[in-house]
């Protein structure tokens, strides 16, 4: 147990913040014991994974819990698929690399997403037409109030676009996730960047697919270890058909992707159209290459970040009547 612990290096946006208490565990029994003990049972608690989707804009007066249990275990196999039980603190991309090396397909399009396996279901991570819920079987949790162990199946997790029950309910720590991967590779190359990259590729393999995703991401997204950032900052907004039609009259080049009767619009495009790519103020800025990524260029403050968020939201709203929402959780 650490007291008065700096959180700056524990989240990838690296704002200066502290937690009253910080507890890292490998063995889930240790966590269960702690939860039921005085004074820890009375404190507000929060779980932290790799810190790539959380930004601490305030000090945290309570206990931060960080899982450190790692490992991948095959618990069931058939000729068609394998079920892997992956411990929560396993690095997500290490899990993808493992699956690709074994010839297991289903998460290769999610290569190079930062963070841990335990954090992946929280926002139902997605990229290049794939999302975690496509391969999800169940997850195991410990209740932070009672110490009870509970298993959630896919339906109980309420998965949605970059969304799940665990985004709003902080009652549980996810301890392990079970994924079902196919033994046969079924490439998913619908996204234009990917199909362009693979246009001359013959006999696409799982390894080639993973490498393509890594190359594309590296060419577009800044590395958090070089430039502190949290990946995609805003959700892609969804507008109704009438709003979409009206926007197209004014902005004929507006990209949009149908979702049922509505349209998903790339937030990056909206921000770029407002002339904000490369914008900087008080140490916080928008990446010069990808308008969806905010960067802590120069030890910026939480106030500077909030000001930048408001500025972006206001500009986008004024131009498109669309309210951008953060994908990142501000704590």
Contact footprint for ligand NAP (CB under 6 A): 113, 125-128, 190-193, 220-221, 231-232, 236, 257, 266, 268, 292
Give 93 or 140: the residue with its C-beta nearer to ligand NAP: 93
Question: Strands 81-87 and 126-127: what pairing?
Answer: unpaired
Residue closest to ligand NAP when measured from CB atoms: 231
In the bound state with ligand NAP, the residue whose beta carbon lies nearer, of 94 and 171, is 94
Task: Pinpoint the alpha helices (H) of the chain.
Answer: 28-35, 92-102, 154-157, 192-197, 206-220, 241-250, 267-273, 302-320
Residue 31 or 285 having the CB closest to ligand NAP: 285
Catalytic residues: 162, 232, 327
For the bound state, the minimum distance from the C-beta of residue 172 to ligand NAP, rounded and expressed in Å, comes to: 22
Q: Closer to ligand NAP at the Cβ: 19 or 265? A: 265
- Residue 117 φ/ψ, nearest 5 degrees: -65, -35
Residue 112 near residue 214, CB atoms below 8 Å = yes
For the record, the structure tokens of 262 come out as 């509505």
Please identify, using beta-carbon distances, which residue of 130 and 142 lies nearer to ligand NAP: 130
Please name the residues in contact with 287: beta carbons below 8 A apart, sequence gap of 6 or more: 222, 227, 229, 277, 278, 293, 294, 295
Strands (E), the chain: 2-6, 18-25, 45-47, 54-55, 60-67, 72-77, 81-87, 126-127, 130-131, 136-143, 149-153, 172-182, 229-232, 238-239, 257-259, 262-264, 280-281, 284-286, 293-296, 329-330
The residue (of 102 and 167) whose beta carbon lies closer to ligand NAP is 167
Residue 87's contacts (CB-CB under 8 Å, 6 or more residues apart) are 67, 69, 70, 71, 72, 117, 118, 175, 176
Q: What is the closest distance, in whole angstroms, from the C-beta atom of residue 52 to ligand NAP in the complex? A: 7
Measured from the CB of residue 3, what is the shortest distance to ligand NAP in angstroms? Answer: 32
CB of 234 to ligand NAP, least distance (A): 10
Minimum distance of ligand NAP from residue 7's CB (angstroms): 20
Burial (CB < 10 A; 0-12, 13-18, 19+), residue 203, is exposed
CB of 224 to ligand NAP, least distance (A): 10
């Amino acid at each position: 147990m650490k007291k008065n612990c700096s959180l700056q290096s524990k989240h990838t946006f690296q704002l200066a913040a502290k937690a009253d208490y910080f507890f890292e565990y490998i063995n889930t029994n240790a966590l269960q014991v702690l939860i039921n003990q005085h004074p820890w049972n009375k404190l507000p608690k929060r779980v932290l994974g790799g810190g790539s989707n959380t930004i601490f804009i305030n000090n945290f007066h309570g206990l931060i819990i960080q899982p450190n249990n790692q490992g991948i275990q095959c618990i069931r196999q058939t000729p068609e698929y394998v079920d892997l039980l992956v411990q929560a603190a396993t690095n997500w991309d290490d899990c993808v690399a493992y699956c690709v090396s074994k010839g297991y397909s289903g998460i290769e399009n999610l290569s190079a997403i930062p963070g841990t396996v335990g954090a992946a279901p929280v926002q139902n991570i997605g990229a290049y037409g794939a999302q975690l819920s496509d391969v999800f079987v169940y997850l195991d949790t410990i209740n932070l109030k009672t110490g009870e162990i509970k298993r959630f199946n896919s339906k109980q997790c309420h998965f949605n676009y970059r969304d799940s029950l665990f985004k709003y309910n902080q009652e549980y720590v996810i301890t392990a996730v079970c994924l079902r991967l196919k033994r046969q590779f079924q490439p998913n190359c619908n996204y234009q960047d990917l199909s362009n990259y693979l246009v001359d590729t013959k006999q696409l393999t799982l390894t080639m697919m993973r490498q393509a995703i890594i190359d594309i991401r590296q060419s577009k997204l800044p590395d958090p270890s070089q430039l502190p950032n949290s990946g995609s900052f805003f959700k892609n907004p969804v507008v109704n058909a009438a709003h979409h039609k009206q926007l197209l009259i004014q902005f004929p080049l507006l990209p949009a992707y149908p979702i049922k009767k509505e349209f998903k619009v790339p937030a990056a495009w909206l921000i770029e159209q407002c002339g904000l790519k490369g914008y900087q103020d008080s140490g916080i800025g928008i990446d010069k290459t990808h308008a969806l990524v905010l960067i802590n260029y120069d030890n910026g403050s939480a106030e500077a970040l909030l000001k930048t968020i408001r500025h972006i939201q206001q500009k986008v709203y004024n131009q498109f009547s669309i309210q951008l929402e953060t994908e990142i959780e501000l704590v």
